[in-house]
Structure 1
Amino acid sequence: MVIEMWRDTFEELRNMERRMNQLFEELLGERIGLPAAPAKLGVREPYADIMETDREVKVTIEIPGVDKKDININATENSLEVSAEMKKEEEEEEEGYVRRERRYNKYYRAFALPEEVEPTKAKTTFKNGILQIVLPKKRIEKRTTIKVE
């Protein structure tokens, strides 16, 4: 029972450390190795949600108007980087006038992930401007005591 209490305490401390690291990375991202903030690059920072379960980290990002072929995703064991471009050109000709409109948006977002993941096993879906990335967590092998006979 005492061992369980210590194990729970250490797990809570590890979780606190991860959360503190995440907070510092969000506040000081550029200083600790994440790319420059989107405002400095002249691009939009899309809305995003990060959810964590026991087995995976789910990232949902809103990037409306973008074709899936124009989305780039790069991931490491502890970070995720998403960029996308939208280029649209419309032209309308009627008697006496021509209307031509161009729209261009560039999106960029970088995240420090709350847990180490296996990026090569990531799954993605993109529907109606919503990109969802599911990254399985890296399995940490449990330690087992082996008796010497």
Structure 2
Amino acid sequence: MFLTKYNPFDEFKDFSSRFNSLLSEFDNRGSSLSGFVPVVNTREGEYAYHVDADLPGVKKEDIKIDVKDDVLTISGERHHKEEVKEDDYHRIETSFGKFERSFTLPKGADIENITASSKDGVLEVIIPKQKSEAEKAKKIEVK
């Protein structure tokens, strides 16, 4: 029979491990612990791929869109400050944070003609599809 010495602090180590695991889950979901993670919707249309990102409070000037090695990256920073002054109180709420989302572009994406627009806190990125070889083919009439 083996005897093990009881250490009451082992319970705290286990608690610490579980607590850190819980914090990392919040971190991955975009809580205020790690800045700002925008909600993104993607869809495929007949002629293009669409990426819509909800960016409330983010100015167009603070958004950066890059394409490198067939990866589209949307990044930027949000600065929001709301101040209310009343006779009996003064309240200031500030929210800020950097964000970055990356997407691997599918084969056939026309990266040379990507467009982006921002309106009412929603960024829309349109990635046109390249025309297929059949559509590019030119029929030559014999005279």
TM-score of the two chains, using structure 2 as the length reference: 0.59
- In structure 2, the residue matched to 1:6 is none
- In structure 2, the residue matched to 1:57 is 49
Q: Which SS does the other structure have where 2:80 is aligned?
A: strand
Tell me, in whole angstroms, the C-alpha distance in 1 between the residues paired with 2:44 and 2:74: 18
Tell me, in whole angstroms, the C-alpha distance in 1 between the residues paired with 2:113 and 2:100: 22
Structure-to-structure mapping, 1:73-84, within 5 angstroms = 73-76=65-68, 78-84=70-76
Q: CA deviation at 1:43?
A: 3.6
- In structure 2, the residue matched to 1:122 is 114
Identical counterparts, % of pairs: 28
Structure-to-structure mapping, 1:68-107, within 5 angstroms = 68-76=60-68, 78-92=70-84, 98-107=90-99
Match status 1:136 vs 2:128:
yes
CA-to-partner distance for each residue in 1:27-78, whole Å, 9 max, x for gaps? xxxxxxxxxx896xx3433211221233211111111111111001012463
Tell me, in whole angstroms, the C-alpha distance in 1 between the residues paired with 2:82 and 2:53: 26
Q: Which SS does the other structure have where 1:139 is aligned?
A: coil
One-letter code of the match for 2:49?
V
One-letter code of the match for 2:78?
M
One-letter code of the match for 2:111?
P
Q: CA deviation at 1:124?
A: 1.3
Tell me, in whole angstroms, the C-alpha distance in 1 between the residues paired with 2:74 and 2:66: 7
Q: CA deviation at 1:94?
A: 5.8
2:36 to 3, 26, 44: 44
Tell me, in whole angstroms, the C-alpha distance in 1 between the residues paired with 2:59 and 2:104: 25
Higher alpha-carbon Rg: 2
Is this contact kept in 1: 2:35–2:96, CA < 8 A? no
CA distance change for structure 1 residues 67 and 60 in 2, over 3 Å: closer, same or farther? same
TM-score of the two chains, using structure 1 as the length reference: 0.57
Q: CA deviation at 1:116?
A: 3.3
Consecutive unaligned residues in structure 1, runs of 5 or more: 1-36, 145-149
